[in-house]
Amino acid sequence: MGLIQKLPAVVDPLPGGRHLVDAVDTIVNWARANSLWPLTFGTSCCAIEMMASSMPRYDISRFGSEVFRATPRQADLIILAGTIVDKMVEVLKTLYEQLPGPKYVIAMGSCTISGGPFIYDNYSVVKGADRIIPVDVYIPGCPPRPEALFHGLLLLQEKIKKESLRRPWVDTTLHTAPFVNPFTRAALEWETQEKEREPAAAEARAKFAAENPDFKPFKAERVLPPPMPDLPRPAGKGAGLPHGELFDLVRAAFPSVVLHKNEGADRASVDALPSDAPLDFVVPPGEYLAFARFLRDEPRLALDLFFDLTAVDWEQPPAPNGATTPLAHRFHLVVQLLSTVHGHLVFFRVPLAENEVPDDSRKTAVLAEVPSLVPLWPGANFKEREAYDMFGIRFSGHPDLRRLLNPETFEGFPLRKDFTHPAMVKRPY
């Protein structure tokens, strides 16, 4: 309530008013610290540990925090459980602004502290949630155990108990902190602390050495695991129709279809292939739809389930002298089909040549086009949107071709080999 924030200004000048404000501070802080209602907000793995912390074994309700509110209007605390990514940033800012003050934020897990395992070579993960909203308590861990969350909660309670109405919580500006490598920052802090402690520590060491002249420090020894046998892999157990039979069926209908990286294969060499690696056909772009329809409708194959669709970008990195090797087929679009009747999988790929586009817009332009498989399998809808989002391959005839994972305003196509993004930091080691 806004009124209580005005209390110090009015009461402090009065005789004895300071004590009254102090008393109100104590009571208000006691109430706030002991009644931290978190928002139900969890993005990934840490959310499960956050849930586990409110469950019977750990029971966050002991601290009065089991009242997880679904609406930000009634919450006091955001526990940032899980990675924050670029698409989430605006949502998180809105949520933070929707919280009535005083509001607190706990960053749970390495991802929210610094980006954690996703800090390098990654274009979408925010490198530290404190670059978006102010954070009160950091809990490291991947994910932190519930005990660690409780520790963080208790630290926050301590912090709240030191607040005063004289220094109101109102902080309407959102800080956009410059990116400082948190590891460097932590190392520097650690170093200064060590320096401060050094005289006392040296004294203690000298005292200990004088008192225990016979002491030998413990030396760690590496315990090697017992030697393990070098086993060869036994021949795989295939499922469904044998490879040779599949190959014959396909070749009888489509003579132009060959095996990937094995163009000259015949029945005998196909039989010799490992049976647990699915056959991988290469289909000319012109026959793509007809081939897919054939696989679906051929009753002996019974490839009814649309398993997956993805693509590969074959663009090679430029040579040291800057020369690029022109590719006949830049992308391979790979379709994976599964038979729920027999259990066998069949892959087929269609090579896609690159469209002619001006060099400067090459990174952001759609480079290839194939017919959509949605009329054959409705399940292809999301997968084709993903391939469009990641590779910039247009699927003609797709009912709703939008980006699936990246924001609509995203520029470029991440899984292309020439993709660059300002947030992508190369691993320095």
Partner 1 sequence: MDYIQTTNFIGDWVRGLGLPWGLDRAVNGILGALTIAGVVMAGATLLVWVERKVSALIQSRLGPMRVGPWGILQSVADILKLLVKEILVPNGADRLVYFLAPMLPLTAAFMVLAVIPFGPTLQVANPDLGVPYLIAMGGIGVLGILIGGWASNNKFSLLGSLRSGAQMVSYEISVAVILLFITLVSGTTDLRTLVLTQQGTVLDWWVFKVPGLGLAAFVLYLISSTAELNRAPFDIAEAEQEIAAGYHTEYSGMGFAMFFLAEYGNLIASAGVAATCFLGGFLPPAIGVPAVDRALFAVPGLVWFALKVAALILGYMWFRWTFPRPRVDQLMALEWKFLLPVNLGLLSLGALFTAMGWVLP
Partner 2 sequence: MELVPATDQALPPGFLTARSGRATEEYFINMGPQHPSTHGVLRLVLRLDGETVVEVVPHLGYIHRGIEKQAEAQTYLQYLHLTDRMDYLSSHHNNHAVCLAIEKAMGIGVPERGEYIRIIVDELQRIQSHLVFFACFGADLGALTCILQGFKAREYITDLFDAVCGSRLTMNFFRPGGSVRDVPEDFTDRVRAVCGKVDAMLAEFDRLLTGNLITKERARGIGVLPRAEAIALGCTGPVLRGSGVDFDLRKKAPYGYYDRFEFSVPLGEAGDSWDRYLIRMEEMRQSLRILEQACRSFPGGPYRSKEKPAYRLPTGTWFGAVETPRGVFSTWIVAEKGEKPWRIHSRSPSLANLAALNPMCVGHKIADLITILATIDPVIPDMDR
* Residues in 7-46 at the binding interface with partner 2, rule: CB under 8 A: 39-45
Q: Residues 44, 52, 89, 101: which binds partner 1 (CB under 8 A)?
A: 101
Q: Is 152 in the site for partner 2 (CB under 8 A)?
A: no
Residues 346/273, Cβ–Cβ less than 8 Å: no
Site string for partner 2, 72-101 (x = CB under 8 A): x---------xx-x-xx--x---x------
Instruction: Return the one option of partner 1, partner 2, none that residue 1 interacts with (CB less than 5 to 8 A, by type).
Output: partner 1
Stretch that binds partner 2, among 29-37, 149-157, 171-179, 395-403 (CB under 8 A): 395-403
- Assess 22 for contact with partner 1 (CB under 8 A): no
Q: DSSP label at 179?
A: -
What is the rounded distance in angstroms from the CA atom of residue 319 to the CA atom of residue 257? 33
The one of partner 1, partner 2, none whose footprint includes residue 167, by CB under 5 to 8 A per kind, is none
Start-to-end Cα distance in the chain: 52
Instruction: Please state the closest distance from residue 155 (CB atom) to partner 1, in A.
Output: 15
**Site residues for partner 1, window 63-82 (CB under 8 A)?**
63-64, 66-67, 69-71, 73-74, 76
CA atoms within 13 A on the CB side of 315: 16
Nearer to partner 1 by C-beta: 71 or 256? 71
143: preceding bond cis by omega (within 30 degrees): yes
Q: Do 173 and 97 touch, CB atoms closer than 8 A? A: no
Which of partner 1, partner 2, none is residue 4 near (CB under 5 to 8 Å by kind)? partner 1
Distance, CA of 22 to CA of 228 (rounded, Å): 68
- Return the number of the residue (35 or 325) whose C-beta is nearest partner 1: 35
> In the beta sheet, which residues pair with residue 396?
371
Tell me if 263 contacts partner 2 by CB under 8 A. no
**Binding partner of residue 28 among partner 2, partner 1, none, CB cut-off 5 to 8 Å per kind:** partner 1
Could you give the CA distance from residue 39 to residue 80 in angstroms, rounded to a whole number?
9
Specify the 3-state DSSP secondary structure of 187: helix
CB distance 104 to 75 below 8 Å: no
Cα-Cα-Cα-Cα torsion 12, 14, 16, 22, nearest 10 degrees, comes to -20
Task: Give the C-alpha separation, 57 to 64, whole Å.
Answer: 16
Nearest CA to 307 out of 273, 340, 274 is that of 340
4 binds partner 1 (CB under 8 A): yes
- Site track for partner 2 across 343-382, x = CB under 8 A: xxx-x-----------------------------xxxxxx
Which residues of this protein are in contact with partner 1, per CB under 8 A?
1-2, 4, 27-28, 30-32, 34-35, 55-56, 59, 61-64, 66-67, 69-71, 73-74, 76, 98, 100-102
